[in-house]
Amino acid sequence: MSKVSSSRLLFFTMLIFVLALAACGNDDSTSEEATTDESETATEESADDSETATEESTGESETSTEESAETEPKVTEFEPAFPEQTRAPKVETETELNVEVVAEGLDVSWGMEEFDTNRLLVTQRDSAELLILNLEDGSVSDPIEGTPEVNNEDQGGLLDVTVAPDFDESRLVFMTFSEDKDDGTLTAVGKGVLSEDETSLEDFEVIFEAEPAYDGTLHYGGRIIFDEDGNLFLTTGERSDDPIRERAQDLDAYLGKVIHITQDGEPVDSNPFIEDEDALDGIYSYGHRNIQGVDFNPETGDLWIVEFGPQAGDELNIIEPGSNYGWPTVSYGIEYSGELINDGISEHEAQGFVEPVYYWDPTSAPSGMSFYDNDAIPEWENNLFIGGLAPNYIVRVVIEDDMIVGEERLLTDEGQRFRDILVTEDGALVAATDGGMIYKVTAADE
Ligand SMILES: [Ca+2]
């Protein structure tokens, strides 16, 4: 597109935009303010890159030709802090895909780890079983003995699983689960040694308990991932109810946090609140609601997490040590009742909270996630895949400079609640569901 025709198109786009604005009337001061913000942003961007700005301003006007992946109406009236923060343009995978059901008839399959090429450890949330699934022939082992006692009511049970970076020598397996205590339940981390014959976990011990316990059975968080130093990041939830959820803001509780611990469950020496006498040493970041997805961005090395919002407002966040992510003080979501949360404040940065990189409205109910750190499907390289529970799809997002520039929904016709996502060494995208299915997605020519 030439510069001249691009500017002309921009002019007409803006004209249509202004006319549409006038047609809308101005009886609602909130939406009027928000619309003004949007047009200002589009104008600023047109100076930088007229072609992009033209597409974006067209997308925001009433005469949109650019679709977002989200087609349902918003449930809130919040406007994003920046245009890329929600409803990214729809993208479509061009590679022809082969979608295979590798296993079915399992329990809620909450967590997975590829501990050996094309062989996965898979947790069963409700039965608290740990199984080995062979991706090549679909065979599933008998339950591995020696897994912990869990509280499996509601969202509780045996949750995530990962293996130590030196698993080939140590054979150490780490798991998270909801644990019964005298005064309620909490998210716990334990470890055990997988026997050579792979039939039992030996010397299983609890290494960390995300205190305090609470008399409820919701929002355990529960993902774990190793960093490059061999320490663990653990995510928790804020236990859902009002007022316990306020504890997400408190530094003397491990609820609603990202936690950084050693393989023995001790706080990592470099943690941000180590010197703060009033704060728990294991805390890495706080103000989270319920985090069930975590992975390192292969391009930047940053830790990314996804967390459930209330009604809408699910967030993708980049984790910075010591930072506050706002819940339940600020949110892009609303209560399930439809009421506003804390008067409906969504301005994060002005109040010292970190803005989400991206949020969903309506909800994507995001659970496990994985970056596609592989080149088997080249167009997917460094994209992020997130399991959606309630809307029954896998989200693919395309990232440029820590901004979400495209979104796609995959496996939308399967009717499954996608609980966890894993990318194998061979570059297969594996998805586990609450309906006990394990899917494997590869390029069709493989
Ligand atoms: Ca937040």
* Residue 384 near residue 374, CB atoms below 8 Å: no
Q: Do residue 61 and residue 108 come from a single domain?
A: no
Catalytic residue of the set 219, 260, 288, 348: 219
Distance between CA 120 and CA 247 in Å, rounded?
35
Lowest mean pLDDT among 45-49, 341-345, 372-376: 45-49
Cα–Cα dist 131/125, whole Å: 11
Same domain, 181 and 287: yes
Whether residue 438 contacts residue 420, with contact meaning beta carbons closer than 8 Å, is answered with: no
Look up 219 and say whether it is catalytic: yes
Q: Edge-to-edge, what's the strand order for the sheet holding 291-296?
A: 291-296, 303-307, 314-318, 358-360
Q: What is the mean pLDDT of residues 358-380?
A: 98
Residue 254 lies in a domain: yes
Q: Which residue among 25, 51, 66 closes a domain?
A: 66
Ligand 1 mean position, distance from CA 236 (Å): 14
Specify the pLDDT at position 227.
98
61 and 101 belong to one structural domain: no
Residues 219, 268 share a domain: yes
Closest CA to 439 of 185, 209, 104, 102: 102
* Residue written as token pair 């190793």: 226
In a domain, 71, yes or no: no
In a domain, 186, yes or no: yes
Q: What is the pLDDT of residue 48?
A: 34
Asked if residue 81 is part of any domain, the answer here is no
183 contacts: CB under 8 Å, gap ≥ 6? 212, 213, 214, 215
Which range marks the domain in which residue 193 is found? 97-443
pLDDT score of 1: 34
The pLDDT value recorded for residue 17 is 43
Cα torsion at 391, 394, 400, 406 (round to 10°)? -60
- Which of 66, 83, 105 is a domain's end point? 66
Indicate if 156 and 12 belong to the same structural domain. no
Residues 181 and 266 in one domain: yes
Q: Provide mean pLDDT across the span 189-198.
A: 98
Instruction: Give the model's pLDDT for residue 43.
Output: 30
Taking the centre of ligand 1 as the mean of its atom positions, its distance from the CA of residue 166, in whole angstroms, is: 34
Q: Are residues 278 and 419 in the same domain?
A: yes
Of all helices (H) and strands (E), which one includes residue 185?
strand 184-194
Residue 84 lies in a domain: no
Residue 408: name the closest of 65, 71, 56 by CA.
71
106/197 same-domain check: yes
Q: What is the pTM of this model?
A: 0.86
Which residues lie near ion ligand 1 (Cβ < 5 Å)?
315, 325-326
- The answer to whether residues 245 and 173 belong to one domain is yes
Domain CATH code at residue 334: 2.120.10.30
Q: Is the predicted pLDDT of residue 226 greater than 50, yes or no?
A: yes
- Residue pair 366/396 in contact (Cβ under 8 Å)? The answer is no
Does one domain contain both 229 and 122? yes
Task: Give pLDDT, residue 90.
Answer: 98
Show which of 66, 84, 110 is a domain's final residue. 66
Residues 14, 133, single domain; the answer is no
CA of 211 to the centre of ligand 1 (A): 22
Give the chain's mean pLDDT: 88
**Overall average pLDDT of the 91-110 stretch:** 98
Instruction: Give the percent of the chain with pLDDT over 90.
Output: 84
What is the CA(331)–ligand 1 centre distance, in A?
A: 6
Tally of domains within the chain = 2
The Å distance, Cα 128 to ligand 1 centre, comes to: 31
Q: Name the β-bridge partners of 191.
A: 174, 205
pLDDT at residue 270 above 70? yes
The predicted structure's pLDDT at residue 149: 98
Above 90 in pLDDT, residue 67? yes
Q: How confident is the model at residue 36 (pLDDT cuts 50, 70, 90)?
A: very low
Segment 81-87 mean pLDDT: 97
Determine how many CB atoms are found less than 10 A away from the CB of residue 289.
25
Report whether 395 contacts 358 (CB < 8 A): no
Residue 415, in any domain of the structure:
yes
Residue 280 lies in a domain: yes
Contacts of residue 93, defined as CB under 8 A and 6 or more positions apart, other chains included, come to 377, 379, 380, 396, 408, 410
Q: How far is the CA of 309 from the centre of ligand 1 (A)?
A: 8
Cα of 85 from ligand 1 centre, angstroms: 12
Same domain, 23 and 62: yes
432 in any annotated domain: yes
pLDDT band at 170 (very low <50, low <70, confident <90, very high): very high
Supply the pLDDT for residue 66: 75
- The β-bridge relationship of strands 403-410 and 418-423 is unpaired
Mean pLDDT for the stretch of residues 250-279: 98
